[in-house]
Amino acid sequence: MIEPGSAAPDFTLPDQDGQKVSLADFRGRTVVLVFYPADFSPVCSDQLSVYQEVLGELEHHGAKLLGISVDGAFCHKAFQDHLKLTLPLLADFHPKGEVARAYGVWSEEYGVASRTLVMVGPDGLVDWVHASPPLEVPGANLIFDALDQRSAA
């Protein structure tokens, strides 16, 4: 798994609307990469719904959230519409899991990204990483705590 202090690997992936999104697009901002296993799974649905509820507050604290899974853009669009999500969902679909592998969060056993949060600072370095057990929703409080610790440093 990628370590804090490492340079965050750049990537370009299609979002739920087929638009190309690159990590470099957010240089100068704090980005939280939300790696999750699959659209429409119960735990992933719960996780992203929790983040959606506090998305405005997270953005007020300076964080831009990007969801990333191996599902395709069309599946992401249906998932986004179903849950009424506004955060971008990026398709690490082809080659499958390439970005998850670059961040060290790929599960070979299951063929998906593990449930991991990666905070990338404005300088492009990884500030914080949190890996959750497969069926545990990492609460938004973890992100708020990491943002508070970073701003206190």
pLDDT at residue 153 in the model: 64
Q: What's the average model confidence in pLDDT over 104-129?
A: 96
Residue-wise pLDDT for 7-28, tens only, equals: 999 999 999 999 999 999 999 9
Question: In the predicted model, what is the mean pLDDT of the chain?
Answer: 95
pTM: 0.96
Per the structure block, which two tokens stand in for 18? Answer: 């087929």
Residue-wise pLDDT for 127-152, tens only, equals: 999 999 888 999 999 999 999 987 77
Q: Of these residues, 13, 23, 44, 75, which one is catalytic?
A: 44
The CATH architecture to which 12-144 belongs is: 3-Layer(aba) Sandwich (3.40)
Q: Is the pLDDT of residue 41 over 80?
A: yes
Q: What angle do CA 118, 22, 102 make, to 5 degrees?
A: 50
Map residue 5 onto helix, strand or coil. coil
Domain residues of the chain, as ranges?
Answer: 12-144
CB of 31 within 8 A of CB of 38? no
**Whether residue 75 lies in the annotated active site:** no
Bigger pLDDT: 2 or 133?
Answer: 2
Give the residue from 150, 147, 125 showing the smallest Cα distance to 59: 147
